[in-house]
């Protein structure tokens, strides 16, 4: 703890570069595609997508039973 | 030690600053005092070491841009990761007024061409070591020629398995043909990723991205009439202009067909990247479309792994204006864009205008707690560029000719070779007669001085006309115009 305040590391670029070394294919978006909108078209990583959970979905109004 | 040229301070609140480095991708939060200490290099040994490891300080000697250049140029010659866009047809069932493709071949890739491409690919993948090979199935509308996709995809899968090559494939489709059978076939072939495009909400989409056969001539915009002529070359403008309006033949909504197709594909495990084409008017309405898709539960990964992700792209109309000075950079950046009558084109945007408005979509994602995925998720240097500048990447045209960019499908002047050429050596074949060869962002004054160069690597080489049309913006990444905002979003998404 410094008297002048901490340096808070939010994103560690060293870790990013390590991951890149092990990447076999393109990334999915603009960076690895060099600005190509077609190459950038690939969907993002599956693991980044939320899984369907009841709390994620909007409540559906059910018709009242007669 | 000296500070990296690619450090960027952004004020976060009254007392703190974010410091980002666009080479390493490191992001830190510091107090105002530490900011001053960094700028004056008045740091403790520990902090100095930490910041050096994160890429904020560089060695005194040498120019870091020279290092970047070296890595960029090495990537353009990288043979380990190969890629091909395969245009199995230039035929299409839609008549989008802004389509950039010439459609002058109007053919499906023949059996003979498929066989020649297989022989070419064996040489291409074997002449130099290959770790990974990717394919983008492309058109026209590629599902019009499923026969070619089936044969080629099966060949590549088998060849790559035998040769220990990581194989991946995706398809760029308009989605209108995604019926039960097509979806099943694509999934079985391992084509589980698709980009599908809509032009906003149903009302807007069906106007600008219609089945041309369903429109009467008087319903078509001038650009759509031009498309109609491509679809049916025997039509003459005189006939069109004199023809009386026909009965309205619209029987089904193109938008509805696409959404139905997406739902089928996603249910079977397909991953859809939904491109929402927008202009300055329709971008305001994209949240309606996103709400609709959200109600359909498409954003959530289902039991088969399928999901949809939506992102926006501004429309660049490069097919209808006829003003050759601006042809390659698109009407979105053309000062005379009001010369066309088409309302969507008139409202097209420059990249900077798009960057100002795209927060509408980012905010929607934030409100739903779904991760926004664009360049802000990969804000760091990789050195990668696109097919246009890479030696081991091609676009295969339906007749077997090879070009370097999807924008050049069907343009004879852009052809660099053919899969039928017996003498072609895929190891030696480079891009000797294309303008892309001339463009290196590290030689370009504007790119060289740009703070986002490590991230964008010069942007789209076709839209910036190999560096000669950059003043029209279309080749630049939106990050150039939303850099500070993207850094703040990176901070927020990393903390959440």
CB B113 within 8 A of CB B398: yes
pLDDT tens over chain B, length 496 residues: 899 999 999 999 888 999 999 999 999 999 999 999 999 999 989 999 999 999 999 988 888 999 999 999 998 888 888 899 999 999 888 877 677 777 777 899 999 999 999 999 999 999 999 998 999 999 999 999 999 999 999 999 999 999 999 999 999 999 999 999 999 999 999 999 999 999 999 988 988 788 877 777 777 766 667 667 766 666 654 444 444 444 444 567 899 999 999 999 999 999 999 999 888 888 999 999 999 999 999 999 999 999 999 988 887 544 444 443 333 334 443 433 333 445 445 566 777 888 888 889 989 988 998 877 664 457 888 888 888 888 888 899 999 999 988 888 888 888 888 999 877 666 666 555 567 877 888 988 888 889 999 988 888 887 766 555 555 566 788 888 889 998 998 898 888 7
Angle (CA) B51 B55 B60, round 5°: 90
Q: Which residue is it, tokens 């619209």?
A: B250
Please list the residues that pair with B275 across neighbouring strands: B197, B311
Local structure of residue A65 (DSSP, 8 states): P
Give the bridge partners for B401, in sequence order: B418
Q: Give the pair of three-digit tokens for residue A40.
A: 């950038």
CB contact under 8 A, B26 and A17: no
**ipTM for the assembly:** 0.80
Best probe of the A interface among B265, B271, B408, by most A CBs < 10 A, is B271
H or E element at residue A18 = helix A13-21
For chain B, where do the domains classified as CATH 3.20.20.70 start and end?
A: 76-377
CB-based contact B369 A50, cutoff 8 Å: yes
Q: Per the structure block, which two tokens stand in for B274?
A: 């939904």
- Pairing label, strands B193-198, B271-278: parallel
Contact B309 A43 (CB under 8 A): yes
Global model pTM greater than 0.90: no
N residues, chain B: 496
How far is residue B394's CA from residue B119's CA, in Å, rounded to a whole number?
Answer: 15
Q: CB-based burial of residue B440 (10 Å sphere; 0-12 exposed, 13-18 middle, 19+ buried)? A: buried
CA B484 vs CA B18, B273, B366, B379, B481: distances in Å: 10, 26, 18, 12, 8
Beta carbons of B197 and B277 less than 8 angstroms apart: yes
B295 touches chain A (CB under 8 A): yes
Contact between residue B447 and residue B441 where contact means Cβ atoms under 8 Å apart: yes
pLDDT of residue A10: 95
Q: Which of B85, B195, B291 to mutate to test the interface with A (most CBs of A within 10 A)?
A: B195
Work out the number of other CB atoms within 10 angstroms of the CB of residue B346: 16
- State the pLDDT at residue B398: 96
- What is the band of A25 on the pLDDT scale with cuts at 50, 70, 90? low
**Helix/strand/coil for A46:** helix
Contacts of A7 in chain B (CB under 8 A): 28-30, 34, 47, 50-51
Shortest CA distance from B82: residue in chain A: A25
B92 Cβ contact list (under 8 Å, min separation 6): B99, B101, B103, B139, B140, B141, B144, B174, B231
| Predicted pLDDT at B340 | 43
User: Cβ of B44 and A2 within 8 Å?
Assistant: yes
Closest CB to B273 among A43, A53, A58: A43
pLDDT at position B143 is 97
pLDDT in tens, B48-72: 999 999 999 998 888 899 999 999 9
Integer Cα distance of B333 and B275 in angstroms:
20
Phi, psi angles (nearest 5°) of residue A52: -60, 120
The verdict on a CB contact (< 8 Å) between B271 and A43 is yes
CA distance B36 to B75: 37
Interface probe with B: pick from A17, A27, A28, A36, most Cβ of B within 10 Å: A36
Of B54, B377, B476, the CB nearest to A12: B54
Q: Is A63 on the interface with B (CB under 8 A)?
A: no
The pLDDT, as a whole number, for residue B426 is: 66
Confidence at residue A4, expressed as pLDDT on a 0 to 100 scale: 55
pLDDT band of A35, cuts 50, 70, 90? low
Report the SS3 class of residue A51.
strand
Written in H, E and C, the secondary structure of chain B is CEECCCEEEEECCCCEEEEEECCCCCEEEEEHHHHHHHHHCCCCHHHHHHHHHCCCEECCCCCHHHHHHHHHHHHHCCCCEEEEEEECECCCCECCCCCCCCCCCCCECCHHHHHHHHHHHHHHHHCCCCCEEEEEEECCCHHHHHHHHHHHHHHHHHHHHHCCCEEEEEEEECCCCCCHHHHHHHHHHCCCEEEEEECCCHHHHHHHCCEHHHCCHHHCCHHHHHHHHHHCCCCCHHHHHHCCCCCCCCCCCHHHHHHHHHHHHHHCCCEEEEEEEECCCHHHHHHHHHHHHHHCCCCCECCCCCEEEEEEEECCCCCCCCCHHHCCCCHHHCCCHHHCCCHHHHCCCCHHHHHHHCHHHHHHHHHHCCCCCCHHHCCCCCCCCCHHHCCCEEEECCCCEEECCHHHCCCHHHCCEECCCCCCCCCCCCCCCCHHHHCCCCCCHHHHCCCCHHHHCCCCCCCCCCCCCHHHCCCCCHHHCCHHHHHHHHHHHHHC
β pairing state of B2-3 and B57-58: antiparallel
Phi, psi of B478, rounded to the nearest 5 degrees: -60, -25
- The residues, any chain, with a CB within 8 Å of residue B406's CB and separated by 6 or more, are A36, A38, B85, B87, B136, B138, B387, B395
- In the predicted structure, residue A32 carries a pLDDT above the cut 60: no
C-beta of residue B337 within 8 angstroms of C-beta of residue B345: yes
A34:B31 CB<8 A: no
**What's the average model confidence in pLDDT over A25-38?**
51
Contact B21, B56 (CB under 8 A): yes
Q: How far apart are the first and last CA of chain B?
A: 34
pLDDT at A21 over 90: no
Residue B495, Cβ neighbours under 10 Å: how many?
9
Domain B76-377 sits in CATH at: 3.20.20.70
Helix B359-368 crosses helix B286-295 at what angle (to 10 degrees)?
30
- Asked if residue B29 lies in contact with residue B20, where contact means CB atoms within 8 angstroms, the answer is no
Q: How many CB atoms lie within 10 A of CB B341?
A: 11
């Amino acid at each position: 703890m410094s008297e002048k305040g901490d340096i808070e590391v939010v994103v560690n670029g060293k870790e990013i570069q390590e991951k890149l070394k092990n990447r076999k294919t393109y990334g999915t978006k603009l960076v690895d595609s060099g600005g190509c909108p077609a190459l950038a078209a690939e969907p993002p990583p599956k693991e980044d997508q939320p899984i369907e959970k009841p709390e994620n979905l909007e409540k559906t109004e059910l018709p009242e039973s007669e | 030690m000296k500070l990296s040229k690619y450090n960027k301070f952004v004020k976060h609140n009254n007392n703190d600053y974010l410091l980002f480095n666009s080479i390493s991708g490191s992001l830190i939060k510091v107090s105002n005092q530490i900011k001053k200490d960094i700028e004056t290099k008045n740091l403790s040994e520990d902090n100095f070491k930490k910041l050096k490891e994160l890429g904020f300080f560089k060695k005194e000697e040498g120019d870091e841009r020279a290092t970047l250049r070296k890595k960029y140029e090495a990537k353009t010659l990288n043979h380990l990761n190969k890629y091909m866009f395969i245009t199995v047809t230039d035929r299409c069932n839609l008549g989008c007024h802004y389509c950039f493709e010439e459609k002058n071949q109007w053919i499906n890739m023949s059996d003979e061409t498929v066989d020649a491409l297989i022989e070419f690919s064996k040489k291409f993948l074997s002449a130099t070591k290959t770790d990974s090979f990717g394919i983008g199935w492309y058109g026209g509308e590629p599902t019009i020629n499923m026969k070619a996709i089936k044969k080629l995809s099966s060949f590549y899968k088998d060849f790559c398995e035998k040769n220990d090559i990581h194989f991946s494939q995706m398809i760029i489709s308009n989605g209108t043909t995604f019926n039960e059978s097509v979806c099943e076939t694509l999934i079985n072939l391992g084509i589980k990723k698709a980009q599908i495009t809509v032009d906003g909400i149903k009302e807007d989409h069906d106007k600008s991205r219609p089945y041309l056969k369903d429109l009467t001539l008087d319903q078509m915009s001038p650009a759509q009439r031009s498309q109609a002529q491509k679809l049916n070359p025997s039509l003459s403008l005189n006939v069109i202009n004199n023809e009386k309006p026909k009965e309205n033949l619209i029987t089904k909504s193109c938008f509805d067909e696409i959404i139905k197709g997406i739902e089928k594909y996603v249910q079977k495990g397909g991953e859809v990247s939904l491109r929402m084409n927008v202009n300055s008017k329709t971008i305001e309405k994209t949240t309606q479309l996103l709400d609709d898709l959200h109600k359909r539960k498409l954003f959530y990964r289902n039991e088969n792994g399928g999901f949809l992700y939506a992102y926006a792209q501004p429309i660049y109309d490069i097919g209808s204006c006829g003003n050759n000075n601006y042809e390659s950079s698109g009407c979105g950046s053309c000062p005379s864009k009001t010369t066309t009558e088409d309302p969507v084109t008139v409202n097209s945007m420059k990249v900077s205008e798009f960057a100002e408005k795209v927060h509408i979509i980012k905010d929607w994602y934030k409100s739903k707690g779904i991760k926004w995925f664009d360049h802000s998720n990969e804000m760091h240097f990789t050195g990668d560029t696109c097919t246009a500048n890479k030696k081991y990447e091609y676009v295969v045209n339906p007749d077997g000719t090879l070009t370097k960019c999807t924008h050049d499908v069907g343009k004879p002047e852009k052809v660099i070779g053919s899969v039928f050429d017996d003498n072609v050596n895929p190891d030696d074949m480079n891009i000797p007669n294309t303008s892309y060869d001339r463009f290196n962002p590290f030689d370009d004054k504007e790119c060289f001085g740009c703070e986002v160069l490590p991230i964008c690597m010069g942007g789209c080489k076709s839209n910036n006309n190999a560096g000669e049309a950059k003043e029209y913006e279309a080749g630049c990444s939106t990050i150039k115009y939303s850099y500070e905002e993207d850094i703040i979003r990176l901070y927020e998404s990393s903390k959440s």
